[in-house]
Amino acid sequence: MSTPKITFVGAGAIGLPMAVRAAAAGTVTVVDTSPERLAEARSHGLHTTDSLSAAPAADVVLVMVATAQQAESVLFGPGGVYETAVPTAVVALLSTIGPAAMEKIASNRPSDGPTLLDIPVTGGIPGAIAGTLTLFSGGDTAAIEQIRPVLESMGNVVLAGPNLADGQAYKIVNQLLATSQLVVAAEALAFAEKLGLDAAKVFEAVKGGAGGSWMLSNYGPRMLSETKDIAARVDIFLKDAALVGETATAAGYKSEMIDATVAVLEKAVEQGLASEDASAVIDVYRKGA
């Protein structure tokens, strides 16, 4: 697959920079329903269309949507991937949907259709822009190796396991860390403010120490800023945290940390912050969680 034709479904805040990175490995056509997102994709030199049926036959189909329901629609709906893609294509689902949803999707795929891979990613918008995402890759190893150059254009490939949903399981562990650390970062900086400290100075003092984290370093400055550009919405973090909780329950595992995290994120949604950047969760503590 020297110069593969790539269809990238979902030109959202993280999807578009991933598609731009993927263009280093092949010819990319972006599929999205938003004229604004398609115009932005064209500004990066990418081909675009608003429907899969209008996209050129692809060697690789990358799907980056927000929810399991959207993934099912893109894959199995009218004019979806399994209706339009050639049987020799490799389809990689990059979304975070949880192991149970991935297993359902895997069970519904046609046996004579394109190969499906489970490859959720982590690293956020900064990682998508820089091409330094981590891609938790589950499914047929030969298919992963077949499209490795495409995957590596977006970041580091981690072989999670040979089964579909292995990638999701890795991502769920990651999201236990990420969602809880977001909430802890918000609580810590709000605590600094409550103590009468300059929270910005506290942030600089602690971010590189034992109490530091990727979430603190990346979301802390936005928590303390009056202007919060949207990198990832509160409701997306709640969706992921809830997936962690559901997966833990299904496994018979009690995770008190994720229960507490979900409670704070639900409070943020109740306060009208669902569509705000995740850094806005600090307002839950400022108002008294």
Domains of the chain with CATH codes: 5-163 (3.40.50.720), 169-286 (1.10.1040.10)
CB 55 within 8 A of CB 1: no
For residue 6, list its beta bridge partners. Answer: 28, 60
What is the C-alpha separation between 63 and 69, in angstroms, rounded? 13
Indicate the pTM of the whole model.
0.94
pLDDT tens-digit series, residues 139-157: 999 999 999 999 999 999 9
Distances from the Cα of 229 to the Cα of 88, 129, 192, 199, 275, angstroms: 40, 16, 23, 20, 11
For 152-172, what is the mean pLDDT? 98
**207 catalytic per annotation:** no
pLDDT class for 228, splitting at 50, 70, 90?
confident
Q: What share of the chain has pLDDT > 70, as a percent?
A: 99
Q: Which of 161-175, 203-217, 222-236 has the lowest mean pLDDT?
A: 222-236
For 101-123, what is the mean pLDDT? 96
For 245-268, what is the mean pLDDT? 97
For 104-122, what is the mean pLDDT? 96
Q: Is the pLDDT of residue 289 over 60?
A: no
Q: Which one of the listed residues 171, 194, 228, 239 is annotated catalytic? A: 171
Question: pLDDT higher for 228 or 45?
Answer: 45
